[in-house]
Structure 1
Amino acid sequence: MSLTSSTLLIVVVLATVLAFAAAVWLWPRLGRGGGLPVLGRIGVVLTLQVLVLASVGLTANRTFLLYGSWADLAGQEGRMPSMGHDAPGGSAVRLLGRQPTDVGGGRTPHVGGEIEKITVRGERSKAAVNAYVYLPPEYFQKGNENRKFPATVVLTGFPGMAENLLKPLPYPKTAWTLAKQKKMPPMVLVMMQPSVVPTRNTQCIDVPGGPLSETFFAKDLPKAISGAYRVGTSPSNWAIMGDSTGGYCALKVALQHPENYAAGVGLSADYKPELDGDSGDLFHGNAAEEKRSDLLWSLDNLPQGKSSFLVTTSMQGEGNYKPTQKFVEKVKAPARVSSITLDHGGHNFKTWCREIPPALQWVGARIGAE
């Protein structure tokens, strides 16, 4: 039974209700003295606690889609897949499967486009990361066989899973709709987690002696995708965006690697890494790298390239309102910055769904095909 299935949630909630009713019925009998009644009371309390926690956890997971499968929950999604075959362009990209888009005519690639699940192997970072690639219908249409497309890397928050970027954050459907309405050019979307280790929040930082997350997203990923798909290779062909931790990652990569990305979008972004149990020690005493990871410090102390930035926040409901204002103030030429400030909006999917359409339009106006 799927971790995110409504059936599992209903079964667990029903079991919780039945267990509570049984506890009420049995409690007078368990109130007697003696060893067995005491053990019975302990068992009833523990069972109810486990079921209540399971109900709350499953409800939260279905709401925020933190884990998509039992393997994901157990931290096994990062293992090297043993199935699939190499996509055109070599072994850096391994195709795992295809699925239709959630649009009209979605089962016909030249009408609705297509979504491919892949594994990307980093040449320099040696990381292997799963991703979804949205190919627009124009990619398959006659006459476009040699056409190259712009590409945008789209990152989730942490914890999160790449499936979030298909639904409930409908990136492919939104891109398809906007392109059909002539509000943005057709583009390839590369959708994935902001970490090269699913169980560790590496936050696009090259950890000394550990995962080379910045190298993967800044260098390996554009090279691998442009080698496997008809995607341009110049920075003017590439953008990167994300929400929350993924937004920090996107801004960091675009800020510090303008030679590879022309634009970066942070939806409700952080502006410095969060150091906690999920991240572990990201710097191992490297004070210079720790300063560099603070984007506000970087804007003040490091040269700014020609990248363009879009940042979003809310006057009520977001904790990044003041840091976002500071980020906007610190961006200087030749870099450029735009911002979206909502009157109210929490740090959640509902807010980001409001911001995704204008963000994609903004990206479409700043990158293009070769």
Structure 2
Amino acid sequence: MGLTSQSLEYTVIVLALVCVAATVWLWPRLSRQGVRPVLGRLGAIVMTQVSIVCALALAVNASFEFYGSWDELLGNNDKAPASVSQGGEGQYASVGNAKSELVQAAGPQGLDRVTGLPQGPADKVGKVESVRIVGRRTRAINPAFVYLPPQYFQSQFRRQRFPVMVVISGYPGGIMNLAQHLQIPQNAGRLIADGKMQPTVIVMLRPTIAPPRDTECVDVPDGPQAETFFAKDLPDAMKSAYRVGHDPSAWGAFGYSSGGTCSLQLAMRNPQAYTSAVSLSGDYAIQDDLTTGSLFGSGAAGAQREREHDLLWRLENLPAPQVSALVASSRKGEPDYGETMKFIHAAKEPMKVDSIILPEGSHQFSTWLREIVPALEWQSQQLTFPQDVESIPVKSKPGSEGPKAPAAPASSNGTADRKRVAAERSPG
């Protein structure tokens, strides 16, 4: 049974209940004096406590996804990429390109616990794949879900590469939060079907590449290279396995909480990889804490690295990147509201900033659920599609021009008028 599987969680919960019941039933018999009754009482207490702790630990891990597999828990991670073969017909086992070493088919990773996922022919409803992303440079291995829209499987789009949203969860949450609580693939599927969002490949990941440490999308000196993973390894891996755009204009980062912080950092520091970012309740600077350890190192070099991850400092002291950003906060209830307004007003050409400012909200899923749909629509308008038409020979009758590529949605070039993304919107 997988570490995040429901069957394991339910089995351990039942075992814990059995241990409690057995302890209550046996306790009168163990109340006598003597070595054996004392050992029996100690054994009953230990078994009961261990079973309860294991049940709670599995439930917490399934929710926050500190570890996605037994190997990851035991530290038996792969040291190098491995070849991947097509994984059959199952919902969770197939990968877009069996030749890729960098996107590996994985087990459910909790995807079997998510409700509302596409059910039916992929060319009608789309598909969600459970994979592992392998970093060519960093050697990091990160679990991921990949949403493929119905158009990805339709013959008229077979020559097209699709735009990509890299959606990053908060810390310590994992990809399950993106699929189950925020319903990223479910919302995207409905928006695409309604014509409010262009067909887009969405890859869902957690922000850390070295759990349980919070790496905050930073290249740590002599440590995990999280920024390199997201800015270089991830795009390379996706391009090796899926028909996705090769130009940065087809790539956008999207996240909430720590994932929102990562999204802004990735776009502003790596505009050659991402040209748009969505940050829901993200921060604008990265600082060390108990979960991160030392991210920047010591001395003057470490202080400079920390300053360069302060986005307000970057806007004041460095040329603004040519990217678009959507930031979200609440006037009441969100601690980052003041910094969000400073960021909006500090932005300068050629950077563009839009915002979703709620009258009231807090740092939790109920707030982000209000922002998800308009944020998905907004980022879709920033991404170019179709892009990088593949050179696939097409046989045609004499005198025929052959099939034409499908037309792009009117807003796909990112220059059309944007829809209103909130009841109140601050000027960008």
TM-score scaled by length of structure 1? 0.83
| 1:260 aligned residue | 273
- Alpha-carbon deviations, 1:125-184, whole Å to 9, x = none? 454444333221112212222222211111122334334433343222211110111111
| 1:84 aligned residue | 84
CA contact (8 A) 1:102 1:173 kept: no
CA contact (8 A) 1:104 1:112 kept: no
**Residue 134 of structure 1, aligned match among 117, 131, 147:** 147
Q: Summarize the alignment of residues 330-341 of structure 1 with structure 2, pairs less than 5 Å apart.
A: 330-341=346-357
**Residue 320 of structure 1, aligned match among 336, 344, 349:** 336
Please tell me the residue identity of whatever aligns with 1:358.
Answer: P
| 2:376 aligned residue | 360
| 2:232 aligned residue | 219
Return the alpha-carbon distance in structure 2 between the equivalents of residues 219 and 21 of structure 1.
Answer: 54
Q: Summarize the alignment of residues 232-247 of structure 1 with structure 2, pairs less than 5 Å apart.
A: 232-247=245-260
| 2:407 aligned residue | none
Instruction: Give 1:240 deviation, angstroms.
Output: 0.5
Return the alpha-carbon distance in structure 1 between the equivalents of residues 8 and 236 of structure 2.
Answer: 41
| 1:147 aligned residue | 160
Alpha carbons of 1:37 and 1:60: their partners in 2 closer, same or farther (altered >3 Å)? same
Please tell me the residue identity of whatever aligns with 1:173.
Answer: Q
Larger Rg, first or second structure (1 or 2) = 2
Alpha carbons of 1:301 and 1:40: their partners in 2 closer, same or farther (altered >3 Å)? farther
Return the alpha-carbon distance in structure 2 between the equivalents of residues 139 and 360 of structure 1.
Answer: 18
Instruction: Give 1:33 deviation, angstroms.
Output: 6.7
Alpha carbons of 1:30 and 1:274: their partners in 2 closer, same or farther (altered >3 Å)? farther
3-state secondary structure, aligned to 1:206:
coil
| 2:210 aligned residue | 197
Q: Is 1:229 the counterpart of 2:242 in the alignment?
A: yes
CA contact (8 A) 1:78 1:198 kept: no
CA contact (8 A) 1:317 1:346 kept: yes
| 1:206 aligned residue | 219
Instruction: Give 1:277 deviation, angstroms.
Output: 4.8
Alpha carbons of 1:96 and 1:29: their partners in 2 closer, same or farther (altered >3 Å)? closer
Q: Is 1:295 the counterpart of 2:311 in the alignment?
A: yes
Q: Percent identity?
A: 41
Identify the range of structure 1 (100-109 vs 46-55) with the bigger mean alpha-carbon deviation. 100-109
Return the alpha-carbon distance in structure 1 between the equivalents of residues 143 and 7 of structure 2.
Answer: 27
CA contact (8 A) 1:98 1:115 kept: no
3-state secondary structure, aligned to 1:149:
coil
CA contact (8 A) 2:169 2:177 kept: yes
- Provide the aligned length of Structure 1 versus Structure 2: 370
Alpha carbons of 1:343 and 1:46: their partners in 2 closer, same or farther (altered >3 Å)? farther
Q: Which runs of 5+ in 1 are unaligned?
A: none
Alpha carbons of 1:243 and 1:320: their partners in 2 closer, same or farther (altered >3 Å)? same
Q: Which runs of 5+ in 2 are unaligned?
A: 87-95, 388-428
CA contact (8 A) 1:305 1:334 kept: yes
CA contact (8 A) 2:117 2:185 kept: no
Please tell me the residue identity of whatever aligns with 2:54.
Answer: A
3-state secondary structure, aligned to 1:56:
helix
**Residue 286 of structure 2, aligned match among 268, 273, 296:** 273
Q: Summarize the alignment of residues 51-70 of structure 1 with structure 2, pairs less than 5 Å apart.
A: 51-70=51-70
- Alpha-carbon deviations, 1:200-228, whole Å to 9, x = none? 32221112223322122123333443354
Please tell me the residue identity of whatever aligns with 2:208.
Answer: S
Identify the range of structure 1 (52-61 vs 168-177) with the bigger mean alpha-carbon deviation. 52-61
| 1:311 aligned residue | 327
Return the alpha-carbon distance in structure 2 between the equivalents of residues 151 and 10 of structure 1.
Answer: 36
3-state secondary structure, aligned to 1:273:
coil
Return the alpha-carbon distance in structure 1 between the equivalents of residues 13 and 242 of structure 2.
Answer: 46
Please tell me the residue identity of whatever aligns with 2:337.
Answer: Y
Return the alpha-carbon distance in structure 1 between the equivalents of residues 131 and 17 of structure 2.
Answer: 42
Instruction: Give 1:291 deviation, angstroms.
Output: 1.4
Instruction: Give 1:332 deviation, angstroms.
Output: 2.5
Identify the range of structure 1 (82-91 vs 331-340) with the bigger mean alpha-carbon deviation. 82-91
CA contact (8 A) 1:120 1:130 kept: yes
Q: Is 1:166 the counterpart of 2:179 in the alignment?
A: yes
CA contact (8 A) 1:119 1:130 kept: yes
Return the alpha-carbon distance in structure 1 between the equivalents of residues 38 and 349 of structure 2.
Answer: 72
Identify the range of structure 1 (137-146 vs 5-14) with the bigger mean alpha-carbon deviation. 5-14
| 1:93 aligned residue | 102
Return the alpha-carbon distance in structure 2 between the equivalents of residues 238 and 177 of structure 1.
Answer: 21
Q: Is 1:251 the counterpart of 2:264 in the alignment?
A: yes
Identify the range of structure 1 (204-213 vs 37-46) with the bigger mean alpha-carbon deviation. 37-46
Alpha carbons of 1:131 and 1:272: their partners in 2 closer, same or farther (altered >3 Å)? same
- Alpha-carbon deviations, 1:33-83, whole Å to 9, x = none? 766666555545444443443343344344445444434444545655646
Please tell me the residue identity of whatever aligns with 1:56.
Answer: L
Instruction: Give 1:293 deviation, angstroms.
Output: 1.8
Identify the range of structure 1 (242-251 vs 178-187) with the bigger mean alpha-carbon deviation. 242-251
Please tell me the residue identity of whatever aligns with 2:199.
Answer: P
CA contact (8 A) 2:258 2:282 kept: yes
CA contact (8 A) 2:218 2:226 kept: yes
Instruction: Give 1:329 deviation, angstroms.
Output: 3.1
CA contact (8 A) 2:217 2:226 kept: yes
The CA RMSD measured in Å over matched residues stands at 3.5
CA contact (8 A) 1:162 1:191 kept: yes
CA contact (8 A) 2:67 2:211 kept: no
CA contact (8 A) 2:65 2:172 kept: no
Return the alpha-carbon distance in structure 2 between the equivalents of residues 227 and 9 of structure 1.
Answer: 35
Alpha carbons of 1:105 and 1:123: their partners in 2 closer, same or farther (altered >3 Å)? closer
| 2:404 aligned residue | none
- Alpha-carbon deviations, 1:283-328, whole Å to 9, x = none? 2222211111223332333221121112223455544333333333
